[in-house]
Amino acid sequence: MFRRILISVLVFLASFSLSAQDFGSWTSYTSMKRVRALSGSSDAVWAATEGGVFRYDPGADSANAFTTYTNIEGLAGIDAASIVVTGRRVLTGFGSGNINMLDDEHWTLVPDIARSTNYTRRGINTFAPDGDRVFVGTEFGVTVFYPEKREFGDTYVQFGDLASPAAVNDVFILGGDIWVATDRGTARASLSAPNLQEPATWTSYTTSDGLPANNTLALQVFRGEMIAGTESGVAVFRGGSWSALSAFPNGGIVDMASTGDTLYVLTKNDLFRATTLDNLEKLHSSPPGVEFTSMLINASGQLWLGTTDGIVEHRGADEWIYLKPDGPNSNQFTSLAVSTTGVLWAASGRDAAGKGFYGFDGERWMNYTTTTHPEIESNSYLLVTAAPSGAMIFGGWGAGLLVRYPDGSLQRFDETNVPDFPGVVGGPGFNAIGGVAVDRNGTVWMVHFRTGNGSILGALTADSTWHFFSNPVSPEITYLTQLAIDAYGTKWIIPSGASPFQGLVYFNDNGTLEDRSDDTWGSMSARGPEGLDAAKVTAVAVDRTGDLWIGTDIGLRTIFNTRNPERVIKTCNNTLCNIEGQYVTCIAIDPLNNKWIGTQNGVFVLSADGGFIIAQYDESNSPLLSNDVKAIVVHPQTGVAYIGTDKGLSALRTTSILPRESFEKLRVSPNPFRPGVHNQVYIDGLVEETTLKIVTPDGALVAEVPTPGGRIGSWDGRTREGSLVRPGVYFIIAYNYDGTKAAVGKIAVIR
C-alpha cells in the first residue's frame, strides 16, 4: 500500500508554500497603562510601568508610535519602578534591585544590587545622572553606577542623623551638592567631600527643621531655591531650614518639575503651576478613576504626565492628549477561553481586583469596563467560557451573568430581569456567579454562590428559558464555585474555600430540565482516604475522552468512568509523572488531549493518559511571568498555550493544534533543514492519526515517524537507525491510518 501512496502523491507533487515555524517561542502580554516613572530623550518619551517599559515616539504614525519591552525583549521582569535616559543609554530599575540597561538596542542585566545580601530591601526608586556616573536611589540608600564601565562605586546608607536604612525617593544634583529625598527626611552633601560614606559629611533635615513631613517624595529647583514635596505638603529651603508653602497642596505630592521660571507640582488628581511661590493655579485634573503618578518636561519644554491609564501629552492651552500602548486593561487573568471565531477572552477578577474583561484577536486588544461599556454594570468579572453559538459567557461577582453575542452586543441577566434569579444571603441585588459551563445542547449552566433562596444552580437554554435548581440532599452546601460538565451531562461543582464542606458536588438532570423527579445529586468528600484524599478540591476539567481530572491542594486525581464517581485514581504518583504535593490551580485540555496543569509553582504538561510529564515551565527555566498560575487555555487553531497570572499573560507556541479534516497542502519548515543548527523539521497540515514516511527521490524508505495526532508533526532528520541523513532532497509522505488520505512535501537537507 505504501508504494501505491507514494506513486499517487508524486503524480500530484507541486510547489509548496513554506515558512519558518517558531514552536517553543514565548510572548508576554501585559498592561502598561499604569506608569511608574517617566524620562525623555531628544525624540521620545520613555515610561517604566507595571507591565514593562515602553517608548513613545510623538513623530511616528499611530501604528508605530509605541515600542514595548517585556521580559521577552530582555527585561529582568515586567514590574519596572524607575527609568532614566542618559546619553545614548536607557536605565530602568525594578523592585528586586535589578537594573536593565538598553544599549545598542539590547537590554543588559545589571544584577549586582539584586544579588547583594547586605540589605533586605533592594528596590531601585530613582536615577540621577551626573556626567559619566549615575546616582541610584534605592530602598537602602544611594549607590554610584558607571554605565560605560558597568561598574559600581561607593554606596551611601547613612545621611547625617537620619535613621538607616532610609528609602531614597529622589536624588537631585544642584551645583556642587547632592540632595536626597528619603522616607525619613532630606539630606545634602558636597560632592567634593572626601568621603560621602561618612554620615557626618551629610546635613540632614526633618520636620524639626521645617519639613511638612519626613517622607519626602520629590525635589526640584525653582528660581535657584530647593523645593521639597512631601506627603503632607511643599516646602522651600531658605537660610538653612525649610518653610512650608501654604499656597500649595497640603498633601499627596507625587512629583515636581521646573522650567526655570515655572514650577509644576503634581498630586494624585491635580496638576498645579506656579510662577512664584505664592501664585499657584490648577492647570489640569485627572479624569474619574485615573490618578497621576509622574511628570516629565523634556528637552524641548514639552510637558508629559504619567498616570494609571497611560501618559498625557500637553499640547498647549487646554489640550491634554491621553495615550497608552495597546494591551489588556490589567495584568489580572483569572479565567481564559477561546471563542469559536478564534478570539481569546479573559476575565480579570472579583471585588477590587476586577478590571472588567478583555478580548484579543491575535493583533489587538478589546477592553470592556464600566467606563467603556456602562451596561456591564461592574468590573468584577472572574469567569469566562465559550458557547457553540459563538457567544462568550461571563460570570460576574455581583453583576450576574453577562453574554457577549457574536455581533458584539451585550446582555446581562440578574434579578432585575430574570424572575427568581438568586442573590447572595443578606445581599439583595448582589448576584454572584461562581462557575460557568456550556453543555453540548448550548445550555449555559452556572453556579450561584451562597444564595438566599436556596437555588445553587442555574440553566439558560438556547431558546432563552431559565431553570434553577436546589440541592435536596445537602441543602447546607451553598458556598460553590467552578463547574465542569462531562459527556453524560453530569455537572461537577467545587465548593469554595469558605465552604464547611470540601470535595465535589455533582448533579445530573438526566436531560429533563422541566422534570425534577429524575434529578440526581451526590457529593464526594475531599478528605476520604479511599477517594480524593486531599484537604480540598481546587480545579476540575473533562478531557476529550470523557475522563474527569480533579485538581487538589496536594496533586491530581482522575475519574476514568464518571458513571462510577466513587472510583478515584491518584494520578501522577510515579517517578515519570510525580506532581503529588503540588497545589493545582487550574487544568486545561489541549487539542491532543494533553493536560496542562497550572500550579502555584508553574505549569506541568502531562501526556494524554497522564502517565508522564511532557514539559514543565516556571520562572527559572522559561519566560513565564509568574509561578502562581491562575488560568490556562490552548488555542485549538493556533496551538498557542495562553497562561494567565496576576502579572500578565504568557503565551507559548506549541504543536498542539486540531488536525485537519483532509489534506490540502503540507507546509514544511525549516526548509532547507540544517542538522546541528535545527533540531526538528515541522510538517503542518496533517489529518488525524497521520503517519509520516521520509523517502529518497527513488522511493527508498529513510524513516517512518508517528505523529501526536494533531495538525503538526515533526522529524528530527535521522534515519531509522538513528544517524543523521545525508545532504540531499527528500520527500515527506503523510497518510492517515487506513491510507485513504495522503499528501506529500519535500525537504532539502544541507550541511
d(CA 603, CA 631) in angstroms, rounded, equals: 10
368 domain-assigned: no
- Residue 659 buriedness (CB in 10 A; 0-12 / 13-18 / 19+): buried
- In terms of domains, do 42 and 172 share one? yes
Per-residue pLDDT for 445 more than 60?
yes
Q: 71-115: per-residue pLDDT in tens? A: 999 999 999 999 999 999 999 999 999 999 998 889 999 999 999
d(CA 469, CA 391) in angstroms, rounded, equals: 24
> Residues 476-488: what's their mean pLDDT?
93
Q: Are 359 and 390 in contact (CB under 8 A)?
A: no
pLDDT score for 573: 62
Residue 2: in which H helix or E strand, if any?
Answer: helix 2-11
Per-residue pLDDT for 8 more than 60?
no
Residues 6+ apart with CB under 8 A from 498: 479
pLDDT score for 302: 92
pLDDT score for 21: 54
For 654, the grid coordinates are 506549541
Residues 6+ apart with CB under 8 A from 519: 469, 507, 508, 509, 510
- In terms of domains, do 128 and 86 share one? yes
Alpha carbon of 185 to those of 165, 217, 246: distances in Å?
A: 12, 9, 19
Per-residue pLDDT for 5 more than 80?
no
Q: 719-742: per-residue pLDDT in tens? A: 999 999 999 999 999 999 888 999
pLDDT score for 578: 79
pLDDT score for 497: 85
Q: 39-79: per-residue pLDDT in tens? A: 998 889 999 999 999 999 998 998 899 999 999 999 999 99
346 domain-assigned: no
DSSP class of 678: B
Specify the pTM. 0.91
Q: 235-270: per-residue pLDDT in tens? A: 999 999 999 999 999 888 999 999 989 999 999 999
CATH number for 139: 2.130.10.10
d(CA 159, CA 162) in angstroms, rounded, equals: 6
DSSP class of 351: G
- In terms of domains, do 87 and 38 share one? yes
Share of the chain above pLDDT 90, in %: 84
pLDDT score for 131: 94
- In terms of domains, do 16 and 90 share one? no
Selection from 502, 492, 379 nearest residue 445 by Cα: 492
DSSP class of 744: E
Query: How many distinct structural domains can be found in the chain?
Result: 2
Selection from 460, 482, 466, 481 nearest residue 419 by Cα: 466
> Residues 661-677: what's their mean pLDDT?
91
- In terms of domains, do 10 and 63 share one? no
pLDDT score for 11: 34
721 domain-assigned: yes
pLDDT score for 316: 84
For 629, the grid coordinates are 498560575
Selection from 218, 244, 262 nearest residue 236 by Cα: 244
- What type of residue sits at position 49? T
pLDDT score for 19: 40
Give the residue, 4 or 117, on which the prediction is more confident.
Answer: 117
Average pLDDT of every residue of the chain: 93
Alpha carbon of 68 to those of 72, 575, 653: distances in Å?
A: 10, 42, 20
CB atoms within 10 A of CB 421: 20
363 domain-assigned: no
Per-residue pLDDT for 9 more than 50?
no
Q: 506-548: per-residue pLDDT in tens? A: 999 999 999 999 999 999 999 877 779 999 999 999 999 999 9
Q: 634-651: per-residue pLDDT in tens? A: 999 999 999 999 999 999
Render the burial of 634-643: b for 16+ CB within 10 Å, e for the rest. Answer: bbbebbbbbb
95 domain-assigned: yes
CB atoms within 10 A of CB 300: 9
For 261, the grid coordinates are 521660571
Q: Are 471 and 521 in contact (CB under 8 A)?
A: yes
For 278, the grid coordinates are 505664592
608 domain-assigned: no
CATH number for 691: 2.60.40.1930
Q: 354-411: per-residue pLDDT in tens? A: 999 999 999 999 999 999 999 999 999 999 999 999 999 999 999 999 999 999 999 9
Please report which confidence band the pLDDT of residue 585 belongs to, taking 50, 70 and 90 as the band edges.
very high
618 domain-assigned: no
d(CA 382, CA 375) in angstroms, rounded, equals: 17
For 55, the grid coordinates are 517608548
> Residues 201-228: what's their mean pLDDT?
97
- In terms of domains, do 226 and 267 share one? yes
pLDDT score for 4: 40
The domain boundary residue, chosen from 303, 321, 347? 303
Per-residue pLDDT for 22 more than 90?
no
> Residues 497-514: what's their mean pLDDT?
92
- In terms of domains, do 159 and 223 share one? yes
CB atoms within 10 A of CB 280: 19
The domain boundary residue, chosen from 269, 285, 303? 303
> Residues 185-199: what's their mean pLDDT?
96
Selection from 632, 561, 564 nearest residue 598 by Cα: 632
d(CA 624, CA 333) in angstroms, rounded, equals: 14
Per-residue pLDDT for 38 more than 80?
yes
- In terms of domains, do 205 and 173 share one? yes
Give the residue, 135 or 88, on which the prediction is more confident.
Answer: 135
> Residues 589-611: what's their mean pLDDT?
95
- In terms of domains, do 18 and 100 share one? no
Which residues constitute the domain of residue 707? 2-22+658-749
Per-residue pLDDT for 7 more than 80?
no
The domain boundary residue, chosen from 256, 286, 303? 303
CA-only gyration radius of the chain, Å: 31
Per-residue pLDDT for 16 more than 50?
no
SS3 state at 72: helix
Q: Are 686 and 659 in contact (CB under 8 A)?
A: yes
Per-residue pLDDT for 590 more than 60?
yes
- In terms of domains, do 58 and 81 share one? yes
- In terms of domains, do 97 and 13 share one? no
88 domain-assigned: yes
d(CA 521, CA 241) in angstroms, rounded, equals: 76
DSSP class of 427: B
- In terms of domains, do 15 and 70 share one? no
Q: Are 121 and 107 in contact (CB under 8 A)?
A: no
